[in-house]
Amino acid sequence: MSKKVGVGSDISKTSGEVYASVRDLRGGVNTASTIPPKIGKGYRLISIEESPDGGLVGHLQVKQKNSIYGPDIPLLQLYVKHETEDRLRVHITDAEKQRWEVPYNLLPREQPPPLKQSIGRLRKNPVAESEYSSSELIFSYKSDPFGFAVKRKSNGETLFDSSSDGSDPYGDLVFKDQYLEISTKLPKEASLYGLGENTQPHGIKLYPNDPYTLYTTDVSAINLNTDLYGSHPVYMDLRNVGGQASAHAVLLLNSNGMDVVYRGDSLTYKVIGGVFDFYFFAGPSPLAVVDHPILSLNTTMTKLSLPAQATISVAGLGFHQCRWGYHNLSVVEDVVENYKKAKIPLDVIWNDDDHMDFHKDFTLNPISYPREKLLAFLDKIHSQGMKYIVLIDPGIAVNSTYGVYQRGIANDVFIKYEGKPYLAQVWPGAVNFPDYLNPKTVDWWVDEIKRFHELVPVNGLWIDMNEASNFCSGLCTIPKGKQCPTGTGPGWICCLDCKNITTSRWDDPPYKINASGLQAPIGFKTIATSAVHYNGVLEYDAHSLYGFSETIATHIALQGLEGKRPFILTRSTFVGSGHYAAHWTGDNKGTWDDLKYSISTMLNFGIFGVPMVGSDICGFYPAPTEELCNRWIELGAFYPFSRDHANFYSPRQELYQWESVAESARNALGMRYKLLPYLYTLNYEAHMSGAPIARPLFFSFPNLTEVYGLSTQFLLGSSVMVSPVLEEGKSEVKVLFPPGTWYSLFDMTQAIVSKEAHYLTLDAPLHVINVHLYQNTILPMQQGGLISKEARTTPFSLIVTFPAGAKEGEAKGNLYLDDDELPEMKLGNGYSSYVDFYSSVSDGTVKVWSDVEESKFALENGWTIERVTVLGLEGFGGKFALEVDGIPVVDTSKVEISATEQKFPQELEDGGDKKKSMMVDVTGLELPVGKKFKISWKMGSSG
């Protein structure tokens, strides 16, 4: 749920009305046009030495002071460190005074050297150019004016170059208290991705001259090219030289508001505070780029046992149903029952704020959600394996009879303004905002969640509105003599008595970022930026960390309840959020455009280290058409996080509301539930390495420039390609097939052979989505079901794929299994197993075998493999043999083997290139997943 600005009408019109006063506050000045092209003459390097930890420490002195956006900081400290062989850090800050940085306790990482009071010891008069290298990256610098470059050691390619000359549209390094600027040259062939959260109408590639502003804001996701709920100042750069691709990433770890100007051949950061804390990741593959802890918080970076991604249960990978407007418990009960009647899978049922007593967190409405009846309902669904999740907002109602508020005041947990809790308005009316940077607040929050869980045993929490969203702006008081909110009309209309705060430099900084796409004041509809957090930290600096800090506190609370795996869904995110929570992409529209945008946003969050992501299926508002909802569930069934969610004012859109949509849901979700073992294993890989679950095609085909901007298809893992219909009235879809053999997952007799990347138009009737499996893969599947708990008990099958008509080949796959209630995904605890699968075709013999780590858990659960299907063989003969744990199985009488010739699209069957390709099915197997097995047979030459 959001502010729901304009939910009852045309959002764009209402948003315009909401922001109408913004230009008045700015006096109608277009500040962008008044920004001079270059500011100052930069800095000169006056000293440099090696630091005790093997890095470099230098000092920079401003060359020529100016007053544009405030005075320059005269002396800077430069710190450079190769933290690993493929990760370089460049940190620049005030040499004489501590500045705001992302707190090290919030996002653990190495500390730079302390600031030096004297530079007398340092080596003076440095050489004009120098280099400092690891095995992967080279850092070089020029001293006057100071500029640095990062190069790839293997080929000398420049990845980042901050130097400026007269012909560049940007200047040298600028470092003021409230304005920092630095730029880099870029080759025109570079393809960039990231810099979010925003809705990118041009697809996943960054588009030159589109605005990229990073500042967490409650602006509906339907607003294009606008700073939305999260701040992720990272981009991936993919280049292709001579047909050979290489990727790297650049992270600026800074929580202050910023504009990033991308011109196609250069990129400029314009930041309103903090420090320059750059991390460069060498790659060179896209997958290696994201396998980095500072993006995903895993062990290498932090030296702590922090995984890359929040551990998600199998149920979390199931289908979720929500709606703002389930007015009472009986409606929720009916929804669950109707999904069951329609035979549509469902694992998690949600409540938006309907369960609350007058929108107050951690309460139940005694009339519409009476506790005894709710507990009976939860007992019932929990016994079936279903889960229940509810929404909470950070704003705590100012109400003297409300225990949560009373305890908050008693513990002094709220953000302050001039010594008093800062007053804002959200759904309950007047609220105060908890300060999650305060350890006492975290303790209080943990206690409130514990109290709520004793009231209602929820299985997770949805933390919304945490940018933070405020229906008012400025300094407010509760009006006397009138009710606020009134109880009638839209709940998001400000009814407090408020006045603008523009007197301080924090509320009205000299440089105006393009906040909300309108250069709105940065305190507009959020917490005043001169408000104060724990230890005097300003909201100005910590604003974009608010949702992240709430997520961490919520994770601590939920994990401490029963020692179980938490499920948290957060709207506002920052670097590292994926360690703690899943994300949905906020308030979208039920339109074909929004359906299409959802793919790019999902893929971006994989790059941001938040793999568990999805959009509101069928759109949050207004009512989707029946055809659109068909197409959306076909796509949404393959989001990592798959949830239908609708608005209070929209008609009901549960998947069973239309029989045609129900049929599409049964087809698409039916396949998702068969793929749960694969998705869960991808979740484990994301947890261990940061690898996205949903990926752009260039992750698997980095040398293929045709896929660099492809935003209408995506991969799950490395091998499953999803190609949805995204246009109204279409019963076919144009699909780009990279070179190789692709097999239809819904009909494995259908194969597509592509010698080089080309588009092919495929049939896609209303209830069909095209999903293909790539060659050289072993895909573990189960039989599915209406709930993940049930699906998880069914036997396994393995799909093995080779290039069509293969005489020689290899295929690989893997499977991770564990007790998915445990807090962490790991091997070696007695509650998990890991299986590597292998297959080969060689010398006329087909072999399929496994290698098992930690077999105990899989054996105790009795999982078996009953079927192996091998695709792409030249033929099938006989001489079948089977071993389990190295011991031959003599009796194979239950095993049946059949072969089917595969079919190819007619237009590809041209000339003598057509190969005979067989699908060989081996059924009747009873292979324990926890034991090593080996199957082999002679391929022969015919079926």
What are the residue numbers of the active site? 464, 467, 587
Q: How many residues does the chain have?
A: 943
Helix (H, G, I), strand (E, B) or coil at 197: coil
Nearest Cα residue to 510 out of 785, 177, 241: 177
Q: Which amino acid is at 810?
A: E
**Residue 564: count of CB within 10 angstroms of its CB:** 16
Task: Return all residues near 318 (Cβ < 8 A) that are at least 6 apart.
Answer: 345, 346, 347, 348, 642, 673, 676, 787, 788
In order, the DSSP letters of 444-469 are: HHHHHHHHHHHHS--S-EEE-STTT-
In order, the DSSP letters of 773-811 are: EESSBEEEE----SSHHHHTTSPEEEEEEEEEEESSEEE
Q: Which amino acid is at 335?
A: V
Residues 789, 791, 797, 802, Cα dihedral to 10°: -100
Nearest Cα residue to 295 out of 609, 694, 747, 627: 609
What is the Cα–Cα distance from 673 to 679, expressed in whole angstroms?
A: 9
Tokens of 423: 């007053």
Task: Return all residues near 239 (Cβ < 8 A) that are at least 6 apart.
Answer: 157, 187, 189, 190, 191, 245, 246, 247
Q: How far apart are the first and last CA of the chain?
A: 56
What is the Cα–Cα distance from 512 to 155, expressed in whole angstroms?
A: 40
In order, the DSSP letters of 855-920 are: HHHHHHHT-EEEEEEEEEES------EEEETTEE----TT-EEEEEE-B--GGG--GGG----EEE
Cis peptide bond N-terminal to 282, omega within 30 = no
Radius of gyration of the chain (CA): 29
Task: Return all residues near 887 (Cβ < 8 A) that are at least 6 apart.
Answer: none
Angle (deg, nearest 10), helices 676-689 and 659-674: 60
> Distance between alpha carbon 15 and the CA centroid of its chain, in Å?
26
Helix (H) or strand (E) holding 246: strand 244-252
Residue 513 · residue 522 · CB < 8 Å: yes
Nearest Cα residue to 425 out of 479, 470, 481: 470
What is the Cα–Cα distance from 157 to 181, expressed in whole angstroms?
A: 24
Residues 735, 739, 743, 745, Cα dihedral to 10°: -50
| Sign, Cα dihedral of 757, 760, 766, 771 | negative
Angle (deg, nearest 10), helices 329-342 and 371-384: 20
Task: Return all residues near 281 (Cβ < 8 A) that are at least 6 apart.
Answer: 86, 87, 248, 249, 250, 251, 288, 289, 292, 295
Distances (CA, A) of 375 to 358, 454, 458, 568: 20, 11, 10, 21
Angle (deg, nearest 10), helices 659-674 and 329-342: 80
Helix (H) or strand (E) holding 555: helix 546-562
Instruction: Quickly tell me which residue has 């970022």 as its tokens.
Output: 513
Residues 351, 352, 356, 361, Cα dihedral to 10°: 110
